[in-house]
Amino acid sequence: MKEATFTEKIQNRWSQVGMICVGLDPDFAEIPAVLKAENSSIEEVLFAFNREIIDATADLVCAYKPNIAFYEAHGEAGARALARTVAHIRDAYAEIPIILDAKRADIGNTNLYYVKAVFDELGADAITIHPYLGKEAVQPFLDRKDKGVIVLVKTSNSGGGEFQNLKVADSGEPLYKVVARNIANSWNANGNCSVVVGATYPEELAEVRTIIGDMPILIPGIGAQGGDIQKTVMAGKDSKGFGMIISASRSIIFASSGADFAQASRKATEGLVSEIQAVL
């Protein structure tokens, strides 16, 4: 049986459970001491933490989003923990898409190998990339019709406007709007593109939604970064009331530092789901 594409998976999850994405960013220093006492290696601690979070929240989320930095920092042990995390999701919850937050992009020849590493070897369903090298360079990602290509447009950090808000001479628009329009009009021929817009910029989020139509938007910045749920949902929803992958990491996975961390992560996820439903 042919595996569902990223687009099919995310649309199915929206209709079934909603639009919360849990970021699997296991900052080792913040992982509960009980797990460090029970497991003898960094690999086992990282994987055990992720597995407990996943098993506690799988019926509530539209996607999981591991950020590769939290694994690469631990060398081979981190790489194995990431691979085991992805394998666990694919084996136990194959219907839930996995977004690798890696912010990759390089010249085309290099991207061929990023594509192979992320999609074929690791088994992720989607990846975040940056647009700075242009469509020609990122074409290897775009060519994978079965996978998701999630392009940075307006990031959630306070300094993102240094370049993203610069006015483009040809149109007088800020760069992030030009990027969004190019993705919608030129890059998305295979219907596998999404964009990243931070919840910390609800006005810009609404502007991007107008530009891209019903294309999915990955929205970081809820929770620890202070993004407002009501403003985010009203600005980011598509014409069907969906269209958002609302990502929260620290506020969910570190909701408790005790032995009840998994149950606390579930409660925090349920709270976000309820907040979104109340707005919709």
Catalytic positions: 103
- What is the 3-state secondary structure of 109-177? HHHHHHHHHHHHHHCCCEEEECCCCCHHHHHHHHCCCCCEEEEEEECCCCCCHHHHCCECCCCCCEHHH
- Strand ranges in the chain using DSSP code E only, listed in sequence order: 20-24, 63-66, 99-104, 126-129, 148-154, 193-197, 217-219, 244-248
> How many Å apart are CA 262 and CA 125, to the nearest integer?
24
Contacts 24+ apart (CB under 8 A), 35-40: none
Q: Name residue 104's beta-bridge partners.
A: 129
Contact 197, 219 (CB under 8 A): yes
| Angle at CA of residue 242, ends 238 and 247, nearest 5° | 110
> How many Å apart are CA 24 and CA 10, to the nearest integer?
17
> How many Å apart are CA 128 and CA 130, to the nearest integer?
7
The answer for residues whose C-beta is within 8 angstroms of residue 31's C-beta and 6 or more apart is 45, 46, 49
> How many Å apart are CA 61 and CA 242, to the nearest integer?
14
| Angle at CA of residue 21, ends 3 and 273, nearest 5° | 120
C-alpha 39 chain-centroid distance: 28
> How many Å apart are CA 206 and CA 197, to the nearest integer?
10
